[in-house]
Amino acid sequence: MNKEWSLDVLYQSYLDEKFTNDLKKLQDRISSIKEYVSSLAKKDPKTALPEILNQLEDYYVLSCKLNFYTQLRQSTNTTDSETAAILGRIEDLTSRLSKDVAAIKKYVGSLTNLEQLIAEDDKLKGYAYLLGEMKEEARYTLSDEAEDVVAKMNLSAGSAWSMMHQYLTSTLEVDYKGEKIPLSAVRNLAYSSDVTVRKEAYEAELASYKKIKDAIAFSLNNIKSQVNTITELRGYESPLAMTLKQSKMKQETLDAMFTAIKENLPKFHSYLKRKAEILGHKNGLPWYELFAPMGESSREFTTEEAKDYLVKHFRGFAEDLADMVEEAFDNQWIDFFPHAGKVGGAFCENLPFVKQSRILTNFDGSLSDVVTLAHELGHAYHGLNIQEHLPLNVDYSMPVAETASTFNETVIMNAAIAESSGKEKMALVESSLQDVTQIICDIYSRFLFESAVFSKRKDTFMFADELEEMMLNAQKEAYGDGLDHSCLHPYMWVCKGHYYSESESFYNFPYAFGGLFARGLYAQYLKEGEAFVPKYRALLNATTVKSAEEVALMADIDLTSPDFWRQSLAIVSESIDMFIELSKS
């Protein structure tokens, strides 16, 4: 089994004839679209809409192949100057269509007979949801010239600040026990069974951020300032309102979810305080103990063992999921191990135009890393279930993006817990609670922090010291007395890349959404058994062509009611009670 992914399904190198040909085709397609759009207003919508959609399909597939290949190469080697240059060239090319895309949206928005046109054309029927979204987005679209300027300026503004954050964090060397190791490697030590290792790694990690925190503060300030400006120019109420529109999700749904979360925070605090007691801490859990393993399940996995473990448990849920996992391991979909220059964390990139995905992790063999693999393979399974859509119908919104990934986590953890007993069961239950505490308490702290940053950035520039204080305040509110307030993590705003996108703000609440939505779906699976699986596949398939609320209704779920979220949290509450009881024995 190869430990690095292969990107040959896209291109073999930048010198690959297919790469150079596709780059030329992209330029030609951009020119063709620009020429077509220049006379769009004079064309008959009956022929113009299908024709422009055909051109956009070609453009989308070409730009995705080129972008993904280059971005995936950069994620494993952020110091590669050739990749950075080529990525910049591709971004420059794609930015040239911003004015024309704006014109297309306005054209669609101006059509008073859009529904009739859709009903009379099979091509348009396939894109009914997309066209409806375009009509809505036209309300927030700037003039053609302004859209062009915004896209071009972004290359040396928000996008550049984002690249700087990625570069600084991926190349940061941490001084640990006389050695220099990557940031991702020292963060992995938080899962060590040795408390001395956990604490020293935490201290080394925090010390390392002082080298880059001031530069990162400029990145964060300028990205959020840009988003504030764009939000105001487009006429949205706030960055959050813009994000909810992009997420195809209602404010009522977000409010209902956070209502239930805030009601249940004390339950999570009780879990953290009990863990602190077991580890000998009196004033709540120190940050470096958040991922301390409990019980006696200290099993470590090779990549081969991780594959067998995942396939075994997924086989009991859905054959096509287990088959896809085998393919991912056997056919070089996964880049496993941390190294200098590789980005931290983990992600999955769906490649529906080649019916595959690519997964990056920083695997160190722990059960938590196996669960991370399950999570990312859930994204790949989501991709499997949308890959037969039309080319422009393969993007799902942020909240539903975490559904299949968290469902996968739940399948793996529940199966493992069911097979275990005694101290091993406690270890697995607690490991599961570590993860869900992250998507509830930590995600809530990130939401609070980002909300505060957007608000303050309207009037002031926040230097690193102020950002640290804001982060600590958010952690205190979210974690309450469950954590030791003298030992928190003031630099979580530095290491989490989710804050540093100029195009996707508030990439935090989708994790809570996905985590709780998936648990609600899993509860239905336990009731319905095999009959649920086709419904689940259909639901995933619909995420690219329906709103979050419409998708949920396919499973008879009302997302705007706090009751659904309370039911999902009740499942977690039972696990907390189980952990506390097991810990006493």
Q: Would you list the domain boundaries of the chain?
A: 17-156, 230-296+398-585
Residue among 154, 157, 186 at smallest CA distance from 169: 186
Q: By the 8 A CB rule, do 228 and 458 touch?
A: yes
Answer yes or no: are the C-beta atoms of 465 and 215 closer than 8 Å. no
- In whole angstroms, give the CA distance from residue 471 to residue 74: 29
Q: How far apart are CA 311 and CA 306, in angstroms?
A: 9
Sheet with 356-360, edge to edge strand ranges: 334-335, 356-360, 347-351
Task: Yes or no: say if 399 and 509 are a contact pair by the CB < 8 Å rule.
Answer: yes
CB of 303 closer than 8 Å to CB of 370: no
pTM here? 0.84
- Give first-to-last CA distance, the chain, whole Å: 41
Cα–Cα distance measured from residue 109 to residue 371, given in angstroms and rounded to the nearest whole number? 44
| Residue-level pLDDT at 107 | 93
Alpha carbon 525 to chain centroid, angstroms: 24
Sign for the pseudo-dihedral over CA of 161, 162, 163, 167: positive
Query: pLDDT, tens digit, for every residue of 79-101?
Result: 999 999 999 999 999 989 988 99
The predicted structure's pLDDT at residue 95: 87
Per the CB < 8 A criterion, the answer to whether 288 and 487 are in contact is yes
Amino acid 296 reads E
Rg of the chain on CA atoms, in Å: 24
Q: Hey, what CATH class is 17-156 in?
A: mainly alpha
Q: How many helices (H) and strands (E) does the chain have?
A: 27, 5
Strands (E), 361-442: none
Beta-carbon contacts of 75 under 8 Å, excluding residues fewer than 6 positions away, are 342, 343, 347, 360
Quick one: pLDDT at residue 298? 67
CB 264 within 8 A of CB 461: no
Name the class of domain 230-296+398-585.
mainly alpha
Instruction: Reduce the DSSP state of residue 547 to 3 states and report it.
Output: coil
Three-state SS string across 22-45, please? HHHHHHHHHHHHHHHHHCHHHCCH
Compute the Cα dihedral for 217, 190, 399, 471 and give only its sign. negative
Q: Using an 8 Å Cβ cutoff, are 254 and 509 in contact?
A: yes
Token output for 213: 């925190």
- Give pLDDT, residue 45: 93
Nearest CA-CA partner of 345 in 177, 519, 161, 492: 492
- Angstrom distance (rounded) from CA 178 to CA 170: 20
> Token digits for 483?
């954590």
Residues 6+ apart with CB under 8 A from 158: 222, 223, 226, 227, 502, 503
pLDDT tens track, the chain, 585 positions:
789 999 999 999 999 999 999 999 999 999 999 999 999 988 999 999 999 999 999 999 999 999 999 999 999 999 999 999 999 999 999 989 988 998 999 999 999 999 999 999 999 999 999 999 999 999 998 887 888 889 889 989 999 999 999 999 999 999 999 999 999 899 989 989 899 999 999 999 999 999 999 999 999 999 999 999 999 999 999 999 999 999 999 999 999 999 999 999 999 999 999 999 999 999 999 999 999 998 877 678 999 999 999 999 999 899 999 999 999 999 999 999 999 899 888 999 999 999 999 999 999 898 778 989 999 999 999 999 999 999 999 999 888 998 999 999 999 888 888 888 888 888 889 988 998 999 999 999 999 999 999 999 999 999 999 999 999 999 999 999 999 999 999 999 999 999 999 999 999 999 999 999 999 999 999 999 999 999 999 999 999 999 999 999 999 899 999 999 999 999 999 999 999 999 987
Query: d(Cα 54, Cα 290) in Å, to the nearest integer?
Result: 51
CA dihedral 13, 18, 23, 24 (to 10 degrees): 140
Residue type, 257: M
Residues forming beta bridges with residue 356, ordered by sequence position: 351
